[in-house]
Structure 1
Amino acid sequence: MTKSALIVWGGWDGHTPEQSARLVGAMLEEHGFAVEIEPTTEAFADAALGRFDLIIPAITMSRIEKEELTNLLAAVRAGSGLAGFHGLMCDSFRNEPDYQFMVGGQWVAHPGNIIDFTVNVTRADDPIMQGIEDFPYHSEQYYLHFDPSIEVLATTTFSGEYFEEIDGVVMPVVWKRRFGKGRVFHSTLGHVVDEFQVPQMRTIFERGALWAAR
């Protein structure tokens, strides 16, 4: 049976939402998914939203109507998977704590902006991370407020170079969790579409999205 995915893009253009959404859509189609791509959160108001096996928000900041959010939360709780990357999922709707609770983390800062840092694999035994070792990365190093119940698969450690008070802080980069009957996956990597050219970044997201799908 063909699996289905909904990708909804929008918000701040600096995160290349449409380009990233279309790349991810093509990626899922290679795995046999029937993919729908929509440019507005109105797609979340669909009464049949739960028919999708996977939902991917690619929206930074912006706003979501209460009925749209209620419907999205219900769909994931009932078994639709949720997967996303960078601020296109963990900084989508700043005024909606119910959404942040589902995701498991919320962006709050990226000291130094675009910098070099290291991604440390903490769960090499997890199928999503299998064969991937610690790797260097050049992007925004996300500082988050996160839920301690998430299952962390990779982390990064902050230096005090840009903000001395966080020297040595270890922060999640990749995680997964359950939300009702649904699976939720997130990677903080993917500031712009070009980052999908980094093999480790692409592989981690691809595997995570497939894991999240019902």
Structure 2
Amino acid sequence: MTNPRALIFWGGWEGHEPEACAAIVSDMLREEGFEVTSVPGAEALRTEPLDEFDLIVPMVTQVADDKDDIERLRKAVAGGVGLGGFHGGMGDAFRGSPDYQFMVGGQWVAHPGDIIDYHVDVTRPDHFITAGIEGFDYRSEQYFMHVDPGNEVLATTTFSGEHAPETAGTVMPVVWTRSFGEGRVFYSALGHQAHELTHPSAREILRRGLVWAARKDKT
């Protein structure tokens, strides 16, 4: 059996520290036995052989979308390539592409209060990604997102309404999985900047989620 291959493409808004995050995730995946290709820019969607990878990790907040590039990505995932990522690098990558958002299962809308303390509730303790992980406190942007009700939600957060009264009591998905064609999709809203990837629960969820999403039928 050959080692699984992962493609990370990073860039966009520097506030999310895409290069530093890409380096951390690259090391994480290499520890799991992946051969990792990490490249700057969404141009990778047209220059890399997408269907030859087992996992694709977008890390490109608010970059310009090219319809043909998005279609190449959608075709690769529908054909069995895994898609996994976190926070705005995946959940706010191609803001102008509903086709991309449909595949991911959600799109960032707001983070009332910016960096705040909030709680993450694990709702699927029986899932590989969240097994043995209990609810935990977290300090970051609490993402309010538009999400597909068909997602398999593994963790949520509840908005207090302190920073946006209209959100009081809203239970928002934080971690989910879904299928897109033959491909597995994993998303976590956690991980605003590189230092957050050291949070034990958030890091473990990300690690397991990326491993879970990777194509399983390639030998």
TM bracket, shorter-chain basis? over 0.9
Partner of 2:171: 170
Could you tell me how far 1:65 is from its partner in structure 2? Answer: 1.6
Unaligned runs of 5+ in 1: none
Task: Note if 1:50 corresponds to 2:68.
Answer: no
Partner of 2:149: 148
Q: Which runs of 4+ in 1 moved over 6 A?
A: none
Task: Give the TM-score normalised by structure 2.
Answer: 0.96
Q: Distance in 2 between matches of 1:140 and 1:90?
A: 13
Q: Distance in 1 between matches of 2:160 and 2:94?
A: 28
Could you tell me how far 1:47 is from its partner in structure 2? Answer: 6.5
Q: Percent identity?
A: 57
Task: Note if 1:97 corresponds to 2:98.
Answer: yes
| Count of aligned positions | 214
Question: Cα deviation per residue 1:42-83 (whole Å; 9 max; x = unaligned)?
Answer: 111147210000000001001122221110010000000000
* Structure 1 contact 47–71 (Cα < 8 Å) conserved: no
Partner of 1:113: 114
Counterpart of 2:31 in structure 1: which amino acid?
E
Could you tell me how far 1:18 is from its partner in structure 2? Answer: 0.6
* Structure 1 contact 3–32 (Cα < 8 Å) conserved: yes
Counterpart of 1:143 in structure 2: which amino acid?
F
Counterpart of 2:43 in structure 1: which amino acid?
E
Task: Note if 1:136 corresponds to 2:105.
Answer: no
Counterpart of 2:112 in structure 1: which amino acid?
P
Q: Report the 3-state secondary structure (helix = DSSP H, G, I; strand = E; otherwise coil) of the residue aligned with 1:159.
A: coil
Unaligned runs of 5+ in 2: none
Question: Cα deviation per residue 1:155-194 (whole Å; 9 max; x = unaligned)?
Answer: 0000111111110000000000000000000000000010
Counterpart of 1:137 in structure 2: which amino acid?
Y
* Structure 1 contact 176–184 (Cα < 8 Å) conserved: yes
Q: Distance in 2 between matches of 1:106 and 1:7?
A: 20
Note the 1:64-83 alignment, pairs <5 A: 64-83=65-84
